[in-house]
Amino acid sequence: MTINELRVLYRSERLVEAIVEQADQGGLWVVEFRDSHGGILALTDPQGEQRHYSDINSASKSAMAVGFNQVRVEEL
């Protein structure tokens, strides 16, 4: 889901957590969100491809752009 789509869910209180975690590819990070039903939603680009970040700070900023004040970081 794109940042704008995730913002809509956040504002309607359907997202409960933002998670930044290391991707399988070396040194890259991804952003995911846990919804109120326990599902996981990945942050994607407009074409539906999961977004990858080269550093944790950029990934965290994107997670917070959805509306969260803090994010959980999971390292491999």
Give the pLDDT score at 24. Answer: 80
Q: What is the number of other CB atoms lying within 10 angstroms of the CB of residue 64?
A: 15
Residue 63 pLDDT greater than 80, yes or no: yes
Give the pLDDT score at 72. Answer: 96
pLDDT digits (tens, 9 = 90+) for 65-74: 999 999 999 9
Alpha-carbon span 44 to 53, nearest angstrom: 11
Give the alpha-carbon dihedral of 45, 3, 18, 68, to 10 degrees: 160
Q: pTM for the complete prediction?
A: 0.92
DSSP letters, 13-40, are T-EEEEEEEE-SSTT-EEEEEEETTS-E
pLDDT digits (tens, 9 = 90+) for 1-56: 999 999 999 999 999 999 999 998 688 999 999 999 999 999 999 999 999 999 99
